[in-house]
Amino acid sequence: MSEDTRNPAEQPDVSVAPEGSAAAPEDIAAQFAAEKERLEAEVASLKDKFLRAFAEADNVRRRAEREVADAKLYGITGFARDVLTVADDFERALAAIDAEAREKAEGTLKTLLDGIDLTARALTQTLTKHGVAKIEAEGSKFDPNLHQAMFEVPNAEIPSGTVVQVVQPGYTIGGRVLRPALVGVSKGGPKATPAEAPAAEG
């Protein structure tokens, strides 16, 4: 059979594809770039969510630790405040007997006084062990956060606003005021000067 009489179905397909039917390299590159940008944005979003969740979890952990620590430290506040009343009683009992009488005490009285003194010291040590500290008020500048003024004492020689007498000692627990000190404050003296004057320049 000659080539001219060949079945048309057997003729080789030499037709040219329409222009634009195959994706140009530029289009493929643009698609890859867009997909890459989308994936990078998705990764950044997931990373941000992870970091936020991690930070929140860390904040919750820190807050829980702080609450547990506060509960351990301040959970005995009410009890400690009640125990201070007992400490006051011991202090008043010892103050009721002057130093000379205590030196002359003998026998049962001396044993009783020594027992009260030792018990008062042990109580103070126990309070200190649990974070309760006495406020050293006398001679310091009056601080409304730590002291409660009961009366004023005229004194022209002492700077005004100085604690000159402690009626009842105050205490703190973990840095917080458990009970303010009841004090007498001076008046009529010179104004209190700053604790530290700024250094002169040059």
Parallel/antiparallel/unpaired status of strands 176-179 and 181-187: unpaired
Look at residue 57 and give its three-state secondary structure: helix
Q: What are phi and psi for residue 79, nearest 5 degrees?
A: -65, -45
Residue with tokens 């125990």: 83
Q: What is the DSSP letter of 174?
A: T
Per-residue confidence in pLDDT tens, the chain, 202 aa: 455 555 555 555 545 445 545 557 788 888 888 888 889 999 999 999 999 998 998 898 888 888 887 777 777 888 888 889 888 888 888 888 888 888 888 888 888 888 888 998 999 898 888 889 999 999 899 999 999 999 999 988 889 999 999 999 999 998 889 999 999 999 877 776 655 333 434 3
Please, what sign has the CA dihedral across residues 114, 118, 121, 127? negative
* Domains by residue range for the chain, with CATH: 132-192 (2.30.22.10)
